[in-house]
Amino acid sequence: MVGLTNYTADNVLNYIVGKTAVPALPTVYVALFTAVGTDAGTGFTEAAFTNYARAATSGATWNAASGTSPSSISNASTVTFPTCGATAGANIIAWGLYDASTGGNLLAWDYLYAGGSGSSGAWLPFSCTAASPGVLTSPAHGFSSGDSIVVTAEYGGTLPATAGSWTGLLTVAGVTTDTFTAGVNTTSTGAGLLRKVVPQAMVTNLTLSFPAGDLVLTGA
């Protein structure tokens, strides 16, 4: 799920017990994703709009990590991508950090949120009924019909059994103050965590950028 990949987590753990040195990272590249994969760093689809390239950053691009439970780090300056050319491609739904301009190891990633990835990315607990479609309850969720969400049980809970799938972006419908549906027919009750994703549509001549503070990663 979002956050550090297996590659980064393994290196950090090996480092803190004195087993190996953390690999040097003179340059870190921000990538854009139209589909996301797993913590193993596989299954991700990068943007394919005309002129796309990962955006190079340096230590000066980022604020120093700070805070407790969790600590967080964010971009200190704007990160800008090449202007979209003739072919726009699919919507951008997530971003990630690599240790190379192409290929390389995915270090961390997160979804896009309203106003950037850092402004409204809190996970909200939910419960779900067995129904067609299942009704999700998350008090005062603040969603509107047509919003996109993702769900997970990685941090606790058991997702309801379903004839469909909880994978990928789900579309909010049937909204009340505390409940909504997401187009998933369920055959058992369950619970987990969810949060909103705001895909960025790419259009010709759009220059996508992330202002300072919009790219946020946290770690407990």
CATH number at residue 166: 2.40.30
Is the same domain home to 105 and 10? yes
Give me the residue label for tokens 């770690």: 219
Residues 71, 176, single domain; the answer is no
Residue 32 has which token pair?
A: 């854009």
Question: Which pLDDT does position 143 carry in this prediction?
Answer: 92
Residue 8 in this model has a pLDDT that exceeds 70: yes
pLDDT band at 119; cut points 50, 70, 90: very low
Clarify whether residues 49 and 129 are in a common domain.
no
- Residue 104 shares a structural domain with residue 8: yes
| 68 and 167 inside one domain | no
User: 170 and 65 in one domain?
Assistant: no
**Is 62 found in the same domain as 9?**
yes
Domain that holds residue 48: 3-112+200-219
Q: Residue 190 domain-assigned? A: yes
Average pLDDT over residues 21-33: 89
Domain membership of residue 118 (yes or no) is: no
In this structure, the answer to whether residues 8 and 96 fall within a common structural domain is yes
For residues 68 and 184, what is the distance between their CA atoms, to the nearest angstrom?
Answer: 37
Q: What is the pLDDT of residue 121?
A: 67
- For the chain, the distance separating the N- and C-terminal CA atoms, rounded to the nearest angstrom, is 15
Number of domains in the chain: 2
pLDDT at 220: 67
**Which amino acid, residue 196?**
K
Pairing of strands 55-57, 45-46: unpaired
With 60 as the cut, is the pLDDT of residue 153 above it? yes
| pLDDT value, residue 201 | 94
Q: pLDDT tens digits, residue range 40-95?
A: 999 999 999 999 999 999 999 999 999 887 888 999 999 999 999 999 999 999 99
**Beta strands at 106-111 and 94-98: parallel, antiparallel or unpaired:** antiparallel
Structure-token pair, residue 145: 């019909």
Classify residue 119: in a domain, yes or no: no
Q: How far apart are CA 113 and CA 199, in angstroms?
A: 8
Over the stretch 189-216, which tens digit does the pLDDT of each residue have? 999 999 999 999 999 999 999 999 999 9
Same domain, 139 and 71: no
DSSP 59: G
pLDDT higher than threshold 50 for residue 163: yes
Task: Please state the pTM of the whole predicted model.
Answer: 0.91
Cβ atoms of 28 and 95 closer than 8 Å: no
